[in-house]
Chain A
């Protein structure tokens, strides 16, 4: 089995190496990939969209449809994770651990037992609980606001520097996941609830589609942001850059919400109760 697999893989690799002998040399400016539409993008995108970052311009304007359905792919992944994993109710959790804060005693309440209601005296802790590290929590508290600010910068400044909705959304999601890892899943859920995550998944896609539909209603093609110049009182080229920003914000919201939702689902095996 292993030998057969190794032979198969070597065969594929050998065929690919053989094919690569005909490929253009690395870094060749006249390679076929760099001659078709790419010169148009490089030479015309600033004049046509007023966005200096060509990647952003191509992503959200020239290939707007592609990115829209890419966003829907992410949304679908979030929804698929919800349907695959989510378990409602608490029939699966066998027992719970509570710590009595004044005395420091840990109580194990087995299945069916009465659960303390007052949260002032009792603190719920995970079954596989490890003592919190003050260093980790404090560092997390310091890092999270700055990483979120940086994420917003990456989204908003994606026109002029490397960045955009996908990158900024991932950083925004990572900040919330960092909070969940440094504290626990319940603290994170109290801050950024599952309902909010699912709502934002859909909201981001809706913003994207609504931007496309708005330019459609104003008399242009779907996702033809040039027509946004009428309601926003700006030139057609500047309106394209505005349309790209709106679309990127939608992408960022969806990516953030899906990242967080995937983490919630995977870390707790769908129970959203206790996990990593």
Chain B
């Protein structure tokens, strides 16, 4: 029981992001509306981002901006005083890529809606089938 409680306390961050990832993945698989699929994809990306950010955390450390006043400049910075900056850098760019993929995905959804008049996956597939019988290979 003690060991389980220890596991929960030290791994809770991973499990929360895993739960969020499961929500996103489930939405991507089962939702029939394309915009809801895109929202699921975004939740999945957010889960990955949160996981990386939580990996960068260090107990008792502060944000990765060095103290650089007159008094603080006297001694060199120590790695244990600042949290790991690398996940923050990677996720900063990942957030931007997530926004870019969201924009392109929404543009595709708009285009699909203009062509088919619906965003429902099953309806779109139903409209595609007769066409592929006519001229398809």
Q: Give the B-binding residues of A (Cβ under 8 A).
A: 1-2, 5-6, 8-10, 12-13, 16-17, 20-21, 23, 25-29, 31, 33-34, 37-39, 41-43, 45-46, 52-55, 58-59, 63, 66-67, 70, 73-74, 76-78, 80-81, 84-85, 160-162, 164, 166, 170, 255, 258-259, 262, 265-266, 269-270
Contacts and interface: CB of A to CB of B under 8 A. Distances in A.
In the A-B complex, list the 6 residue pairs whose CB atoms are closest, starting with the nearest.
A77-B100, A25-B10, A39-B79, A27-B59, A262-B103, A20-B14
B129 interface: no
A55 B88 contact: yes
A42 B96 contact: no
18 contacts: A13-B18, A17-B18, A25-B11, A27-B57, A29-B80, A31-B58, A42-B82, A43-B77, A52-B67, A55-B64, A58-B89, A63-B89, A74-B96, A78-B103, A81-B103, A160-B65, A258-B103, A265-B107
B42 to A, nearest CB: 14
Given A43-B79, A84-B104, A59 B55 contact: no
A42 B104 contact: no
Given A9-B26, A17-B18, A42-B64, A26 B89 contact: no
B132 interface: no
B82 A54 contact: yes
Contact size range, B: 35 or more
Nearest to A3: B30
Contact of B110 (A6, A27, A160, A266): A266
Contact of A20 (B15, B64, B111): B15
Contacts of A5: 26, 29-30
Contacts of A269: 110, 114
B124 interface: no
A266 B10 CA distance: 43
B79 A34 contact: yes
Contact of A70 (B13, B68, B93, B107): B93
A84 B107 contact: yes
B58 A28 contact: yes
Contacts of B60: 29
B65 A54 contact: yes
A270 B110 contact: yes
A89 B75 CA distance: 65
A14 to B, nearest CB: 9
B110 A26 contact: no
B104 A10 contact: no
A63 to B, nearest CB: 6
Given A42-B64, A160-B65, A27 B58 contact: yes
Contacts of B30: 1-2, 5-6
Contact of A54 (B29, B85, B99, B100): B85
B86 A58 contact: yes
Interface in B94-113: 95-97, 99-101, 103-104, 106-108, 110-111
Given A42-B82, A52-B66, A80-B104, A20 B11 contact: yes
Nearest to A36: B86
Given A27-B58, A38-B79, A166-B92, 8 more contacts: A5-B30, A20-B18, A33-B84, A34-B56, A42-B77, A42-B82, A54-B65, A77-B101
A53 B85 CA distance: 9
A12 B58 contact: no
Contacts of B78: 42-43
B22 interface: yes
